[in-house]
Amino acid sequence: MPTRRTLLLPALAGALLCSPFSVLAQQGTQPSTRPDTPPRREIPALPAAKPIVGEFRFGSREAQPRTPGAIRLATYNVENLFDHADDPTLSDDKDDLPMAKPDAQCRAIADAIRAIDADVIALEEIESEAALIWFRDTYLSDLGYAHVESIDAGDERGIENGVISRFPISNPRTWVGMDLGGVHPDTFGDRGAANYFAGQPLKFRRTPLRLDVEVPAGTSLGAATTSAPFFLTLFVVHHKSGRGHEYWREAEARKIVELIAEAEKERPGRPIALLGDFNAVPTDKVLAIYRDAGLIDTLAERRADARNPESFKTHASDRTIDFILVNRTLASELVPGSGFVFGTLLLPKGADYREAKPPEGYASDHLPVCIDIRTSSSAKPAHGEDGAKAQGAE
């Protein structure tokens, strides 16, 4: 006797053959073309991504007024200031032309420089002296920066440290390839990752740039005029960046302390400023090395007393890593309360700098740091010498 299941199978097969699905099976997967078939719904395109809007996250929105009778010193990492001329010595992933600074960003940098109105500005991440002159002549031609210096720093990307100044520059010097003592460790600090420099001699990642600036006698500084020349020695730095490279920055700092000590020994009483991008925060050992050597952080007190600590951060990563340090000679000439960080547009918090397109009005991921320096007392002759000798001119 056939089972119930056996009797149902032929009936089910017949039903399937007569069903609409059997037609589709015979015609492949073509949809029905009956007039009452609803039209296919079009999926709307996704809206275009909105441009990222920049934010004034750190620093002061307005520059502090200039101090009469003082010069203004500043440092500013301008983030890859490459010109639009191809350097044939750089190619592949180091090719300079794709990194050419867009015109809009160059104008934003120039706006910041115009706002702070510093007489002497140390600049980091400059492609070359030629690039710096191009930038000055194109965007800063009316600001009086007649003197420019930038020397190869030994960086494989070609970035250098430079200075633009309204006063004469002399005795520029760098130390490309200088041995810092010791070798690279096997791993990158607490990261534990293998160090691809392991065992190689430690050298400057980017050599500091040392030079002298002279404020000539008779220079008008607002309500005052210098009675004798004022000389200032600068060490412009851009320490090795990145987590795990603390040992490298510390080795660089110890060597720079030696170089500064040599400069002070050459001319006792020489005013010296060490300034730039330190890639280290105030609590890092790098800054402790400099403090232990007698160098003074010009904005330390202002940061400590600030009601708004955000006003003294200098980098888009929410850190303070750009500084102006001075020796005791120069510290006595600082104008109290004159130090400030000038705010420019940055990527909004949380934006990935590797993916996000810089917003309109963006200049750099760093902010300018400024301080005013009086020249009146330093310009006076000492011990019967002329002002130039008293200030350690070379």
Domains and their CATH numbers in the chain: 70-390 (3.60.10.10)
Counting Cβ atoms within 10 Å, is residue 377 exposed (0-12), middle (13-18) or buried (19+)? exposed
pLDDT score for 52 = 78
- 70: amino acid identity, one letter: A
Q: Of 290, 302, 295, which is closest to residue 331 (Cα–Cα)?
A: 295
| Lowest model confidence (mean pLDDT) among 13-22, 173-182, 204-213 | 13-22
Q: Which of these, 174, 164, 160, 149, lies nearest to 80 by C-alpha position?
A: 160
Check if the beta carbon of residue 145 is closer than 8 Å to that of residue 164.
Answer: yes
Contact 83, 135 (CB under 8 A): yes
Q: What does the pLDDT average to over 102-117? A: 97
- For 52-74, what is the mean pLDDT? 94
Cα–Cα distance measured from residue 146 to residue 149, given in angstroms and rounded to the nearest whole number: 10
Other residues' Cβ atoms within 10 Å of the Cβ of residue 288: 14
Length of the chain: 394
Q: Work out the pLDDT band at 94, boundaries 50, 70, 90.
A: low
Count of C-beta atoms within a 10 Å radius of residue 37: 9
Report which listed range, 49-58, 137-146, 185-194, is most confident.
137-146
| pTM (two decimals) | 0.82
Q: Tell me what the mean pLDDT of segment 41-45 comes to.
A: 49
3-class secondary structure per residue, the chain: CCCHHHHHHHHHHHHHHHCHHHHHHHCCCCCCCCCCCCCCCCCCCCCCCCCCCCECCCCECCCCCCCCCEEEEEEEEEEEEECCCCCCCCCHHHCCHHHECCHHHHHHHHHHHHHHCCCEEEEEEECCHHHHHHHHHHHCCCCCCCEEEEECCCCCCCCEEEEEECCCEEEEECCCCCEEEEECCCECHHHCCECCCCCCEEECCCCCEEEEEEECCCCEECCEECCCCEEEEEEEEECCCCCCCHHHHHHHHHHHHHHHHHHHHHCCCCCEEEEEECCCCCCCHHHHHHHHCCCEECCHHHHHHCCCHHHHCCECCCECCEEEEECHHHHCCECCCCCEEECCCECCCCCCCCCCCCCCCCCCCECCEEEEEECCCCCCCCCCCCHHHHCCCC
- The answer on pLDDT for 209 being more than 80 is yes
Residue 211 pLDDT greater than 70, yes or no: yes
| Nearest CA-CA partner of 145 in 162, 159, 157 | 162
Name the packing angle between helices 285-292 and 246-266 (round to 10°).
Answer: 20
Bridge-based pairing of strands 209-215 and 220-221 is unpaired
Q: What does the pLDDT read at residue 192?
A: 75
Mean of the per-residue pLDDT values of the chain: 85
List, for residues 1-39, the tens digit of each pLDDT value.
444 444 444 443 444 444 444 433 344 444 444 445 445
What pLDDT, on a 0 to 100 scale, did the predictor assign at position 376? Answer: 60
Q: Go through 166-199 and write b for each residue having 16 or more CB atoms within 10 A of its CB, e for each that does not.
A: bbebeebebbeebebeeebeeebeeeeeebeeee
* 123: pLDDT strictly greater than 90: yes
